[in-house]
Structure 1
């Protein structure tokens, strides 16, 4: 028998964990053992030159290399930093190969075939052993994360990294979502150079400053010339972000955060599979293979022990699902599916995830049918039931979590932050009957005496028809979209200020297209173009009152009405029909009474 060389590779250094860092420790002295704990110390060692030693000393760069006792093929080194490190011989592959070659030389044709098989199995086993020793272990695995997921305790994922509040599929989005504890949905496409980039669409048009197919750009062009185009939806306070290569995302998050990974373009599937096989064989521990029901990639994924999430179309048949059921771990339903279809998919018995989710009211509906996974573009908002703050910072021009326009994920209906000289003012640049939910302040937390909402409002240009109005809605029990003159899913109150100065308070019943005025019409001074007006809404356990406070302190008085005491609120363009005459708001604040 002979001694085997231990160390000398890029992984074999004396290191100490300090906080979240591994620091090299040159000159550190270590003892060698035959077990990870306990066991017997091995002292029959030699250095690289063949001189006898009883312990090992790290070189000036921290590297470790030595020869072990005869025939020993696994040791554990203890540098006194709280744990022992496993090492296998650097020459183990050649030793195995030599043994197998000897068998091959002496064997018959049948024996040679068996030896070839044995060699392949030995190499695979060695690779597997090395992977378990040296590749990063998942801090959080797919199975542990989803264990215990129920409709009462669903799991939430960051759709496109949280694209309703951050530029989608960017490091800024991924890092924020991961820091908040949410798994990442990562979509990839391949460029002309074969590099995989995190981007949902196969074209650049919707989300970046460039146009054309992703696969028509080289790696260098994307890295130097392509930025996101997110400000129209997220606000001018955002700096546009560069696109991010998939390898950067995997290197930073793999093993630390669950990743739901999908190749969007067909041409990206094989490059993605090759990348994972070659450089990330440990990925199945913390990566879910996400794919459309029409994919042909599921056998590959299951052969490598990936969990699979397969999402459906509205028209996907049960027969199609049956054909792939054995390859599916989780089914995916769209929020647009009918109640019955969601229930049918849940009834198949496998965990069901839903997408895209923007509102808490959607979470309530889906989990009510048994959905256990929520892929949300604003997971921080939909996964909680409390407000995030009580006063606006619209001067920062950054979209707030919980902001819900009537049509989600569409810049046409997004909250608009006014530029100078109107910084701090916001508006909804879409008519008619558009509104914007303020979920970051919801549900409003009332004190023993209720709560108060204050804000400023103005018309930069007065409506030609002075009976048209804008205003503010409040008291809704849920965050479903509110539209004046439209049947809404939940009821609430709506205060209006008309172009002629009339101030009114309305109650809106769920399912009704018209409101009911409560209290009297108050004749206030007519608005002046581009001049701020101030308002106060007081909600007590028994009354509702609206005041205009920038002049004579006009008020509806405390109207006795207890119909709605929900905590959801928002801005409303009311009956305004011309975008140029839409209302603007600023300085929102909520206080307890």
Structure 2
């Protein structure tokens, strides 16, 4: 094939003597190919008179043929390099040349490798930092150490990236033939810097995490302690106060006089026993007193005395007995005071009663009676009954401290001695919510305490008669600590027929003094009762005559088991018609008026009126009513009929043994009781049984 280079202009062109026109370029299988060449002389204008070939020939050393000339332009005919050599091919060759040497690309590769290596190294060091932080921190620090690790990794990675980017920029801007070595140096520097920075940051993160974890652990420990106390309080509230519908303040806000159970109900049931507390609460007494002392193991027991002698069959100090010994061997002995019908009661742990009644609509007056019981009681309340201050009144004598109960939110009742001065009360006033006065204190002194500045409520103790309540209320006392709370609270009778055959003291029985075995009613076989005391009397408040019963009969059996042969004029009998249940004694000035029936050993029956202005009785009716003399051990029945206008006394067995109706309407009180009359020798005292009150 023959190549002919012609100018790339409109022809025709001349190659020597050959005229060539591009439009005449052969096609198909022609062996002549016209190759457009640079613009040249078309041979028509005779410029220079030379063709391109001739010009080439004019150069020294170019003495070839036209084919040689053409070959110098496009290369030897048939060579691989003779591919179409156009401007596009030249541009492609330039691009490949540029790609063959690219320092910037090499730097990019170095940068990526540096970033990857730095990130991997940073991750490794951060992981090591995390492990060290976790090992040093408490369990609670795990989360924070992980957070610190993540932050360190993120910071190190970001910092490494920034430094690698800077290294890449520097490498790109200064890249040259030594770009590879510079990139390697930059990579090494970046790795070293990232490694050092990661170590520093990981150590700092570890130290920060450790310090933060320690501080956080302290904070959480404090919070946990507070939460534990709160949780314990809530748990205790759920366990011990499920029915705490009435607090101390709510109960005190109720109108009227408040009646409290003294020692539970110590003149009706064995004091400070579960039976005594149950009796009071079962009769809707909402305040009960619980005194306590400790045994040798510091367990608290409901008990008034430091010794066991007075109320149990055991002797000696309570704090010398082990808990198991008290539980199994020590029983109360309520028989001398409350009758042989009582079974011996076990002593009861204070905790048992708190579990049973604390917060259940009952306010508890709580008092440690011995010094060694104070701290155990405080600890018990603080740890096991954190809500006790809502339903416990701390009770203590004026001579003791009230700091702990007031600091711990308890209401306090301070009971004072009859001779306690105002200065003594002033010294306690700031820590006292309620004052306590005794029933033996003078009315004038009680009123002074009631009227103290601040007007704090005043409670009295121990109240077992309704007449005491009346007198105390008149002095301004608003709370009664009563050993017979059910009777003292009431105003009406609760029975009309005696059940002395049960041989247990009844609510409403009012001996000369309370908690005194010498004054207690004595029970005997066959349903008989007696007062084993010279001139002793015993009120029968349980059988008080209702004011609505204007006409009634009192009937009772009476006997003398032993006669006073030296003086058959001694007598016993009944007193009645009194408006008050205060004490009564024959041949003495008494606090209220009434009547007295006597039956002498010699059988003489008499009826007297008694007044508060003289010791001796006023004889009513015809005087002596002769009946058969008493026979030792033989029952006699006496009877009293009362109407609005008359009174009649008789001994059954003979129609003549009567005073007949006596016109006397002086006193119509409903209170009455048993009397040893003039008898000084208790062996000659009367015995009584089968009391009955019937309407007429």
Q: Say if 1:100 and 1:119, in contact at 8 Å, map to a contact too.
A: no
Q: Residue in 2 aligned with 1:264? A: 369
Asked whether 1:351 is paired with 2:450, we answer: no
Q: Residue in 1 aligned with 2:51? A: none
Distance 1:122 1:427, change over 3 A: same
Separation of aligned partners in 2, 1:365 and 1:267: 37
Distance 1:273 1:95, change over 3 A: farther
Distance 1:252 1:526, change over 3 A: same
Separation of aligned partners in 1, 2:543 and 2:633: 27
Q: Residue in 2 aligned with 1:592? A: 695
The Cα shift of 1:99 comes to: 8.9
Q: Say if 1:385 and 1:443, in contact at 8 Å, map to a contact too.
A: no
The Cα shift of 1:268 comes to: 0.4
Distance 1:159 1:511, change over 3 A: farther
Q: Residue in 2 aligned with 1:177? A: 280
Asked whether 1:470 is paired with 2:576, we answer: no
Separation of aligned partners in 1, 2:670 and 2:457: 32
Separation of aligned partners in 2, 1:351 and 1:217: 39
Q: Say if 1:445 and 1:451, in contact at 8 Å, map to a contact too.
A: no
Alignment match of 1:567 (pick from 664, 670, 674)? 670
Separation of aligned partners in 2, 1:245 and 1:112: 45
Asked whether 1:403 is paired with 2:509, we answer: yes
Distance 1:351 1:116, change over 3 A: farther
Separation of aligned partners in 1, 2:141 and 2:498: 69
Please give the secondary structure, in 2, of the residue aligned with 1:555: coil
1:241-390 alignment, distance < 5 Å: 241-256=345-360, 257-296=362-401, 298-348=402-452, 349-390=455-496
Q: Residue in 1 aligned with 2:497? A: 391
Question: If the length of structure 2 is used for normalisation, what is the TM-score?
Answer: 0.67
Separation of aligned partners in 2, 1:457 and 1:157: 36
Please give the secondary structure, in 1, of the residue aligned with 2:527: coil
The Cα shift of 1:270 comes to: 0.3
Distance 1:109 1:492, change over 3 A: farther
Query: Looking at CA atoms only, which structure, 1 or 2, has the larger radius of gyration?
Result: 2
Separation of aligned partners in 1, 2:261 and 2:289: 6
Alignment match of 1:461 (pick from 562, 586, 597)? 562
Distance 1:496 1:260, change over 3 A: same
Q: Residue in 2 aligned with 1:37? A: none
What are the Cα deviations for residues 441-473 of structure 1, in whole angstroms up to 9, with x where unaligned?
Answer: 11444535x111011111111122111111111
Separation of aligned partners in 1, 2:140 and 2:646: 85
Separation of aligned partners in 1, 2:425 and 2:604: 58
Please give the secondary structure, in 2, of the residue aligned with 1:269: helix
Distance 1:95 1:561, change over 3 A: farther
Separation of aligned partners in 2, 1:330 and 1:95: 52
Asked whether 1:240 is paired with 2:344, we answer: yes
Report the structure, 1 or 2, having the larger helix content: 2
Asked whether 1:434 is paired with 2:541, we answer: no
Separation of aligned partners in 1, 2:209 and 2:684: 92
Separation of aligned partners in 2, 1:112 and 1:561: 94
Distance 1:124 1:446, change over 3 A: same
Q: Gaps spanning 5+ residues in structure 1: where?
A: 1-93
Please give the secondary structure, in 1, of the residue aligned with 2:263: helix
The Cα shift of 1:230 comes to: 1.2
Give the aligned CA root-mean-square deviation in angstroms. Answer: 2.5
Asked whether 1:582 is paired with 2:685, we answer: yes
Separation of aligned partners in 2, 1:96 and 1:516: 93
The Cα shift of 1:320 comes to: 2.1
Q: Residue in 1 aligned with 2:269? A: 166
Runs of 4+ in 1 over 2 A off after TM superposition: 94-123, 129-137, 443-448, 550-553
The Cα shift of 1:123 comes to: 3.0
The Cα shift of 1:258 comes to: 1.3
Distance 1:457 1:374, change over 3 A: same
Separation of aligned partners in 1, 2:393 and 2:211: 44
Alignment match of 2:322 (pick from 218, 228, 243)? 218
Separation of aligned partners in 1, 2:221 and 2:613: 72
What are the Cα deviations for residues 252-311 of structure 1, in whole angstroms up to 9, with x where unaligned?
Answer: 111112111000000000011111111111211211111111112x22111221111111
Separation of aligned partners in 2, 1:250 and 1:561: 55
Question: If the length of structure 1 is used for normalisation, what is the TM-score?
Answer: 0.79
Separation of aligned partners in 2, 1:120 and 1:531: 81
Q: Residue in 2 aligned with 1:507? A: 609
Separation of aligned partners in 2, 1:542 and 1:176: 41
Separation of aligned partners in 2, 1:345 and 1:100: 64
Separation of aligned partners in 2, 1:369 and 1:98: 70
Q: Say if 1:489 and 1:511, in contact at 8 Å, map to a contact too.
A: no
1:135-214 alignment, distance < 5 Å: 135=239, 136-137=241-242, 138-149=244-255, 153-182=256-285, 183-214=287-318
**Matched pairs, number:** 491
The Cα shift of 1:413 comes to: 1.0
Separation of aligned partners in 2, 1:97 and 1:440: 73
Q: Gaps spanning 5+ residues in structure 2: where?
A: 1-137, 149-205
Q: Residue in 1 aligned with 2:56? A: none
Separation of aligned partners in 1, 2:474 and 2:553: 33
